[in-house]
Amino acid sequence: MDKEQKIPEIVQFETPLGDKVLRAVSKEIPVDKILNSENQNLIKGLKAALANQGDGVGLSAPQIAISKRIFVINPDVYAGLIDTLPENTPVKTVFINPEIIATSKDRKTLDEGCLSVRPWYGKVKRATRTTVRAYDENGEIFKLEGRGLLAQAFQHEIDHLDGILFIDKAKNLKKVDGLV
């Protein structure tokens, strides 16, 4: 991110802009445009906005009001999952044009929140393993299997790219103030 560029603000659902951008289906990024300055700055902005949140696991472009199929994952997520991931799992943090190519039949109801739907939390049933195919920030295609929190994050962020919010799927929604 350029020094003059400020950290993008995370859009909140309960605003006119949030309602519009978070409900739209995001557009794919042409592979030959991944390395252009606009998309590289978008990646930097997403990483900076996520790093600015103490409790963020992932962040999608619609959450900073950009309707493109890209999300980032907090690298700290991998540290907490080292024992559960397949050996030699790469630490990928940028997912461009991601698609879920496999999910486990095993599902678990998990606590979930969202940086764009603060301060709401609820229980969402998600696959415990999810394999994603995507491009990284260098335009290289990869496949990655996530388990546990990483699998949950893949599903949550790809939902964002399809205009779906966790509150659309959640049970037992509760407002929890003061967690940030």
Q: Residues 54, 26: contact at Cβ < 8 Å?
A: no
Per-residue pLDDT, averaged over 31-52, amounts to 97
H or E segment and range at residue 132: strand 129-135
Sign of torsion over alpha carbons 31, 37, 42, 45: positive
Separation between Cα atoms, residue 96 and residue 145, nearest integer Å = 16
Per-residue pLDDT tens for 53-69?
988 999 999 999 999 99
What is the fold of 16-175?
Peptide Deformylase (3.90.45)
- Which percentage of the chain shows pLDDT scores above 90? 78
Residue 84 has pLDDT above 90, yes or no: no
**What is the pLDDT at residue 179?**
52
**Per-residue pLDDT, 85:** 67
Distances, alpha carbon 77 to alpha carbons 3, 33, 103, 153, 164, in Å: 27, 28, 19, 9, 22
pLDDT value of position 154: 97
Nearest to 146 by CA among 124, 126, 127, 130: 130
99-137 pLDDT, tens digit each: 999 999 999 999 999 999 999 999 999 999 999 999 999
* Number of other residues whose CB lies within 10 A of the CB of residue 87: 4
Angle at 78 between CA 105 and CA 146, to 5 degrees: 20
**C-alpha closest to that of 142 among 134, 154, 152, 150:** 134
**Which of 4, 137, 145, 157 does the annotation list as catalytic?**
157
pLDDT tens for residues 67-76? 999 999 998 8
Return the pLDDT at 140: 96
pLDDT tens for each residue of 148-171: 899 999 999 999 999 999 999 999
Q: If you average pLDDT over every residue of the chain, what do you get?
A: 91
Q: Name 71's bridge partners.
A: 60, 95
Is residue 157 part of the annotated active site? The answer reads yes
pLDDT recorded at residue 110: 93
Per-residue pLDDT for 180 more than 60? no
